[in-house]
């Protein structure tokens, strides 16, 4: 991005929007963008099918039906599952205290720092 003598960058001269920060680009949820693109492609395909079958009125009817569906069903729901695990009290410091527990009736214990002798 070169600036001329007035300090105007190439993208500003072209009238385009400024380039996004790299932090903003890294925060984009690619899966969500792909889902939105797929949904837009399905809507466009439905309208095009209506246009092929019944011309302009078919396209208008397909668009109206999609609008009614969106109003009736509401906004699409995000089906991501969020798991939250809570335990009473403060979490232990396994680096200082080690860790112990039992899995399927088998007890285990680990000393802090990985100094367990091999059994």
- DSSP sequence for 68-116: HHHHHH-SPP----------SSPPP-HHHH-EEEEETTEEEEE-GGG-P
Please tell me the predicted confidence (pLDDT) of residue 52.
92
Residue 2 lies in a domain: no
In a domain, 54, yes or no: yes
8 Å CB contact between 3 and 9: yes
| Structural element, H or E, at residue 61 | helix 30-73
* pLDDT at residue 9, rounded to an integer: 55
Q: What is the pLDDT along the chain (119 residues), one digit of tens a residue?
A: 455 555 555 545 556 677 666 666 666 778 888 888 988 898 899 889 989 999 999 999 998 998 898 888 887 676 676 777 777 777 777 788 888 888 888 998 888 765 555 55
Domain membership of residue 69 as a residue range:
10-73
Domain tally, the chain: 1
Is 63 among the domain residues? yes
Q: Using the 8-state DSSP alphabet, how is residue 9 labeled?
A: B
Provide the 3-class DSSP secondary structure of residue 119: coil
48 in a domain, yes or no?
Answer: yes
Residue 64, CB-side half-sphere exposure with 13 Å CA sphere? 7
Q: Residue 103 falls within a domain, yes or no?
A: no
With respect to residue 66, please indicate whether it lies within any of the assigned structural domains: yes
Tell me whether residue 95 is in a domain.
no
Q: 27 lies in a domain? A: yes
């Amino acid at each position: 991005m070169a600036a001329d003598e007035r300090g105007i960058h190439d993208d500003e001269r072209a009238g385009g929007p400024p380039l996004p920060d790299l932090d903003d680009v890294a925060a984009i949820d690619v899966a969500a963008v792909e889902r939105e693109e797929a949904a837009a492609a399905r809507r466009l395909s439905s309208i095009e099918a209506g246009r092929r079958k019944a011309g302009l009125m078919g396209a208008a009817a397909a668009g109206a039906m999609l609008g009614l569906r969106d109003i009736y069903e509401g906004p699409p729901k995000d089906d991501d599952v969020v798991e939250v695990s809570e335990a009473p009290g403060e979490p232990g410091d396994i680096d200082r205290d080690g860790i112990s527990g039992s899995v399927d009736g088998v007890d285990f214990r680990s000393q802090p720092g990985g100094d367990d002798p091999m059994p």
